[in-house]
Amino acid sequence: MIPLAIPDLSGNESNYLQECIQTTFVSSVGPFVTRFEDMVASASGCLYSVATSAGTTGLHVALTALGVSKNDLVILPAFTFIGSANSISHCGAEPWLMDINLSSLTLNPEQLETSLKKETVKSNKGLIHIPSGKRVAAVMPVHVLGIPADMDPIIQISKKFDLPVIADGAAALGAYYKGKSIGAVGSDLTVFSFNGNKTVTAGGGGAVSGNDEGLLNLVRHLTTTARIGSDYDHDRVGFNYRLTNIQAAVGCAQLERLEKFVTSKRRIQRVYNENLLNIKGISAIPEPKYGQSASWFSGIIVDTSQLGSLKEIREKLRKLNIDARPFWKPINKQLPYANVSKEDLSNTEKIWDKLLMLPCSTNLTEDDQNTVIKAVQEVLR
* 117 touches 159 (CB < 8 A): no
- Residues with Cβ within 8 Å of 202's Cβ and at least 6 positions away in sequence, in order, are 36, 194, 243, 247, 248, 250, 251, 254
Tell me: do 269 and 306 sit in the same domain: yes
Q: Domain for residue 7, yes or no?
A: no
Say if residue 281's pLDDT is above 90. yes
Q: Of 255, 284, 316, which residue constitutes the final position of a domain?
A: 255
Tell me: do 240 and 328 sit in the same domain: no
Residues 300 and 355: their CA atoms lie apart, in Å, by 6
pLDDT reported for residue 201: 98
pLDDT reported for residue 11: 97
pLDDT reported for residue 275: 98
Tell me: do 168 and 97 sit in the same domain: yes
pLDDT tens across 165-174, in order?
Answer: 999 999 999 9
pLDDT tens across 156-209, in order?
Answer: 999 999 999 999 999 999 999 999 999 999 999 999 999 999 999 999 999 999
Tell me: do 294 and 226 sit in the same domain: no
pLDDT reported for residue 225: 92
Tell me: do 38 and 83 sit in the same domain: yes
The one-letter code for the residue type at 177 is: Y
CATH number at residue 132: 3.40.640.10
Tell me: do 318 and 178 sit in the same domain: no
CA of 56: how far to CAs of 114, 192, 245, 254, 255, in Å?
29, 9, 19, 20, 20
Q: Of 255, 287, 310, which residue constitutes the final position of a domain?
A: 255
The count of structural domains within the chain is: 2
Say if residue 231's pLDDT is above 90. no
pLDDT tens across 333-342, in order?
Answer: 999 999 999 9
Say if residue 229's pLDDT is above 90. no
Rounded average pLDDT over 109-135 = 98
260 in active site: no
Q: Domain for residue 357, yes or no?
A: yes
Tell me: do 34 and 58 sit in the same domain: yes
pLDDT reported for residue 29: 85
Tell me: do 147 and 221 sit in the same domain: yes
Range of the domain at 344: 258-380
pLDDT tens across 75-111, in order?
Answer: 999 999 999 999 999 999 999 999 999 999 999 999 9
pLDDT reported for residue 115: 99
Q: Domain for residue 116, yes or no?
A: yes
Tell me: do 92 and 215 sit in the same domain: yes
Say if residue 268's pLDDT is above 90. yes
Q: Of 255, 287, 315, which residue constitutes the final position of a domain?
A: 255
Choose, from 118, 159, 198, 333, the residue flagged as catalytic: 198
Q: Domain for residue 5, yes or no?
A: no
Average pLDDT over the chain, rounded to an integer: 97
Tell me: do 324 and 270 sit in the same domain: yes
CATH number at residue 368: 3.90.1150.10
Say if residue 381's pLDDT is above 90. no
Q: Domain for residue 2, yes or no?
A: no
Tell me: do 209 and 105 sit in the same domain: yes
* 204 touches 259 (CB < 8 A): no
pLDDT reported for residue 230: 82
Q: Domain for residue 4, yes or no?
A: no
Residues 339 and 97: their CA atoms lie apart, in Å, by 10
Say if residue 214's pLDDT is above 90. yes
Say if residue 1's pLDDT is above 90. yes
CA of 258: how far to CAs of 44, 163, 202, 283, in Å?
11, 32, 12, 28
pLDDT band at 129; cut points 50, 70, 90: very high
Tell me: do 203 and 156 sit in the same domain: yes
